[in-house]
A and B are shown apart, each in its own frame.
Chain A
C-alpha cells in the first residue's frame, strides 16, 4: 500500500447479527491530514472507529492503519494509534499525572522519560498546575484535554477520536479543534475524528460522509459545498407543505422541507427573494439567503437531515408524493 495513506480502508463491511452497520466502505486518509467522519448517530461511524482501533474485526473487507493490517498486525497498529473515546477512559480516583503514568506503562514507557513526557503534555494542554489533582474534580473540558494528552503520550502517528466533543460547550469544542490543528502543524500527525457536528466537520481538511453504513461522499468541505453551488433559501411559514406545492405550481421549482422550513437550492437564490415575497408575502414569516453548509451537502447526498432523521424523513415523504 502507498505510504502516503495513513489509513486505507478497502471495502469494509460489518454486521451485528442481521443489522448491517457498515456496507462496503472504501476510503483513504492521506498522511498529515485531519479527516472528519460525518454522519448521524447510527450511521456507522462508531463501528468504523471500533474496527480501525482494533476493538472489533470487520465482517469482511480489509483496512490498513499506518501501513499495518488491522487484524494480522494488531499489536503494531495499536502502537501507532492514539485513541480518544466518546466516553471518558480516565480513572477518576487517580490524579492527572497518575493517569498518564499508568497509560505510559501500558505502552511500555517508564521512568524519567515517561515522567518528563507526562509533564510536558500536561503543560501543553494547560493542565500543568492541576497535575496532582484527582480527575474527579476536573471540568468536562479539562477531562477531554487530559484524554487527548493520554492519547498522545506514546507519540502515535495517527490520532483516532470518536465524537471527542460530546458533552462540551461550544468554547471547549473550539479549543479542542484548535489543539488538533496545532498538533498537525507541529508534528504532522494524521487525525481521524468522528462527529455529527457541522462546525467540527467544517474545520477538517477532509470530510467523509457516512449514512446508513455507506460512504456517500468524501472531499474537502469547500469542494463538497461547491457541488451544491449557488445559494440556499430558507423560508419560515405556518404551512410549509402547502407552500412547497404553491411554489412548484407557480415557479416550477422543487422545494423541500427541512426542520419545518421550506428550502430552495438555486444558483442565483437571492434574485428569487422578491418574486417569492410578491407571490406569497402574507404567508411568509421570514426568508433567508445563505451559502450552502455541510448540512446542505449532507441533505442533498442523503435526502434527509443529519439530526432528527425520522421526522424529516416523514415530511420528505409527504412532499415528494
Chain B
C-alpha cells in the first residue's frame, strides 16, 4: 500500500469509527431505560449496601473512620462503568440481530472502525455517567476537589476502555443477548464483587484473596480509590500501590483492545 492510500485508509477508518461512536451516543440518549439501568442500579446497590452494612462494617484493611458508604463509593463508580460497558456492548449483539451490522460489514472500511467506534461510544457513556455520579461524593463524606475530578476523569477513561473492550470481545461472537446475560452473572458481576469494591482483599479468605489479587479489576477499583481522594492516601486503606494499580489497569485496557481488534478480524 502506498503512503497516501495508507493515510486515506486511516482517515476513512477514523471517519467511520467516529460516525459509529456518534450513533451509539444518540441511540443511548433516545433510550431512556438504558440511562436508568446503567446509572440507577449501581446507585441503588450503593444506598442499600451502605444503609444495611453501615453499622456492621469493620474493614480490617480499611482506614480508620471510613464509613461503609465511603468505602464502597469507588467500587460503585466502577460498577457504573461496568454496567454501561455491558449495556453498550450488548448493542453489538442487537446490531447483528437487527441487521444493522451487515451494512457495516460490507462497507469499504476496516473492521477496526467497528472496534474503535464501539469502545469509544461505550467509554464516553461510562465516563459521563461515572462523573455525574461523583456529584454524590459529599453524601459519602468525601470532598470533591479539582484534582479528584481530573484524576478520576483520567482513571475512568482507562478503566472504561478496558471494560468496554472486554465486553466487546465477549459480545462479538454471541448470537443472543441471553448468552451475554449469563456471562454477566457468572463472570462480570463476580469479577466486580471480588475487586475490593465491597470488601477489602485483606478481609477475604485465603483462596478468595488470591482470586482478588489476580483480578485485574481489583487494580481498577484501587486506582479509582486513589483518584477520588485526589491522590491523598490517608483514607485509602490497604490496597495495591497507585503506580501498580495504574500499570495493571492500563495494561488490561491495551490487552483487551488488542484482543478486540483480533477477534473482529477473524473471518466467519
A residues neighboring B (CB under 8 Å): 53-57, 75-76, 78-79, 81, 83, 85, 87-94, 98, 101-103, 105-108, 110, 150
Q: How far is the CB of A59 from chain B (nearest CB, A)?
A: 13
| Further 17 A-B residue pairs, CB within 8 A, beyond A85-B102, A89-B100 | A55-B102, A57-B267, A78-B106, A83-B103, A83-B106, A85-B99, A88-B99, A91-B27, A91-B100, A93-B31, A102-B19, A102-B20, A106-B16, A106-B103, A107-B108, A108-B8, A108-B15
Q: Is the CB of A93 within 8 A of B268?
A: no
- Encode B16-53 as 1/0 by CB contact (under 8 A) with A: 10111011001100110000000000000000000000
**Among all A-B residue pairs, the 8 with the closest Cβ atoms:** A105-B19, A89-B103, A106-B107, A78-B108, A87-B99, A108-B12, A79-B108, A89-B99
Q: How far is the CB of B20 from chain A (nearest CB, A)?
A: 8
Q: How far is the CB of B110 from chain A (nearest CB, A)?
A: 9
Question: Please, which residue of chain A has its CB at the minimum distance from the CB of B101?
Answer: A89
Cα distance A161–B99 when bound, in Å? Answer: 15
Within 8 A of A (CB), among B101-118: 102-109, 113
Q: Is the CB of B108 within 8 A of A103?
A: no
Task: Tell whether A105 pairs with B99 under 8 Å between CB atoms, given A55-B105, A81-B106, A93-B27.
Answer: no
B residues neighboring A (CB under 8 Å): 8, 11-12, 15-16, 18-20, 22-23, 26-27, 30-31, 98-100, 102-109, 113, 267-268
Q: How far is the CB of B109 from chain A (nearest CB, A)?
A: 6
Most buried by A among B11, B105, B107: B107
Question: Please, which residue of chain B has its CB at the minimum distance from the CB of A151?
Answer: B103
Cα distance A81–B141 when bound, in Å? Answer: 60
Q: CB within 8 A of A103: which of B18, B31, B103, B267? A: B103
Q: Is the CB of B98 within 8 A of A92?
A: yes
A residues near B11, Cβ cutoff 8 Å: 108
B residues near A81, Cβ cutoff 8 Å: 106
Cα distance A150–B100 when bound, in Å? Answer: 12
Q: Is the CB of A102 within 8 A of B23?
A: yes
Q: Is the CB of A106 within 8 A of B109?
A: yes
A residues near B98, Cβ cutoff 8 Å: 88, 92
Most buried by A among B16, B100, B113, B267: B100
Question: Please, which residue of chain A has its CB at the minimum distance from the CB of B22?
Answer: A102
Q: How far is the CB of B100 from chain A (nearest CB, A)?
A: 5
9 A-B contact pairs sorted by A residue (CB < 8 Å): A78-B108, A81-B106, A85-B102, A89-B99, A89-B102, A93-B27, A102-B22, A102-B23, A108-B12
Question: Please, which residue of chain A has its CB at the minimum distance from the CB of B8?
Answer: A108
B residues near A87, Cβ cutoff 8 Å: 99, 102
Cα distance A78–B104 when bound, in Å? Answer: 11
Q: Is the interface of A mostly helix, strand, loop or mixed?
A: loop
Cα distance A55–B107 when bound, in Å? Answer: 10
A residues near B15, Cβ cutoff 8 Å: 105, 108, 110
Question: Please, which residue of chain A has its CB at the minimum distance from the CB of B97?
Answer: A87
B residues near A110, Cβ cutoff 8 Å: 15
A residues near B8, Cβ cutoff 8 Å: 108
Cα distance A303–B152 when bound, in Å? Answer: 71
B residues near A88, Cβ cutoff 8 Å: 98-99
B residues near A76, Cβ cutoff 8 Å: 108
Task: Tell whether A98 pairs with B106 under 8 Å between CB atoms, given A57-B267, A92-B98.
Answer: no
Cα distance A289–B11 when bound, in Å? Answer: 63
Cα distance A94–B11 when bound, in Å? Answer: 24
Cα distance A105–B22 when bound, in Å? Answer: 11
Question: Please, which residue of chain B has its CB at the minimum distance from the CB of A147?
Answer: B103
Question: Please, which residue of chain A has its CB at the minimum distance from the CB of B110?
Answer: A75
Q: How far is the CB of B211 from chain A (nearest CB, A)?
A: 39
B residues near A94, Cβ cutoff 8 Å: 23, 26-27
Question: Please, which residue of chain B has its CB at the minimum distance from the CB of A76?
Answer: B108
Question: Please, which residue of chain B has its CB at the minimum distance from the CB of A54?
Answer: B106
Cα distance A241–B108 when bound, in Å? Answer: 56
Q: Is the CB of A75 within 8 A of B108?
A: yes
B residues near A106, Cβ cutoff 8 Å: 16, 19, 103-104, 107-109, 113
Most buried by A among B23, B26, B106, B268: B106
B residues near A75, Cβ cutoff 8 Å: 108
Question: Please, which residue of chain A has its CB at the minimum distance from the CB of B5?
Answer: A75
Cα distance A92–B99 when bound, in Å? Answer: 10
Task: Tell whether A55 pairs with B106 under 8 Å between CB atoms, given A91-B23, A91-B100, A93-B27.
Answer: yes
A residues near B109, Cβ cutoff 8 Å: 106
Q: Is the CB of B26 within 8 A of A93?
A: yes
Q: How far is the CB of B31 from chain A (nearest CB, A)?
A: 7
Cα distance A102–B107 when bound, in Å? Answer: 11
Q: Is the CB of A105 within 8 A of B106?
A: no
Q: Is the CB of A105 within 8 A of B16?
A: yes
Most buried by A among B8, B26, B27, B108: B108
Most buried by A among B22, B98, B102, B103: B103
